[in-house]
Amino acid sequence: MGKTVSKLELGEIIGRDERTLSRWQKDGMPVNEFGLGRGNENQYDTQAVIEWLMRQAALNGKKESTRDRLDRLRGDREELALAKDLGEVVVEAEMVERFEAVITAAKIELLNTFPDELAATLSATYGVAVDDQLIRTPIESILRRLSKYDEDDDLADDSDEPDDEECSEEDGE
């Protein structure tokens, strides 16, 4: 994926005016995001536009036939399959499946084996009885918090910078 730009920026990059870009858009130039409503501009992926322009140049101004498009898409599919076979790309669904398996295994270890083993080790080392629930409770809390994780949330705010409230308390002392 290339840089996302407005029509004005795209015109500057390609060296064409906005009217030409509007005409090309009607002819099938890819638009990354349509700006809906007044004052909202379309957004373009420079790589996709340049690839489109190169295909247009290869056609020498002719329209791509349905057969040519089908052949091009088949070729793209074959290239993708080869890249997958060579290990150059991965399928998202396979990665998600593997990641979920790793997470499940970690949860089982953290909830079942780890608290008992750590409690036994601490008890033997320090000569006091350690209740495994003292270990299990914080782990369960952390796992509950992780299960509610949304990548759009700022859940990973582990910065060392104090919050505004803490700053104001320190300043007042």
Q: What is the pLDDT of residue 39?
A: 67
Q: What is the pLDDT of residue 152?
A: 59
Report d(CA 114, CA 139) in Å as an integer. Answer: 10
Q: What is the pLDDT of residue 170?
A: 47
How does DSSP assign 33-60, residue by residue?
B---STTPPPBEEHHHHHHHHHHHHHTT
Report d(CA 75, CA 118) in Å as an integer. Answer: 56
Q: What is the largest distance, in Å, between two alpha-carbon atoms of the chain? A: 85
pTM of the complete model: 0.39
Report d(CA 11, CA 21) in Å as an integer. Answer: 7
Q: What is the pLDDT of residue 138?
A: 94
Averages of pLDDT over each 10 residues, the chain, 173 residues? 88 91 88 76 90 84 77 90 87 88 92 93 94 93 86 52 47 46
Side chain identity, residue 48: A
Q: Tell me if residue 130 falls in helix, strand or coil.
A: coil
Residues 33, 49 contacting (CB under 8 angstroms)? no
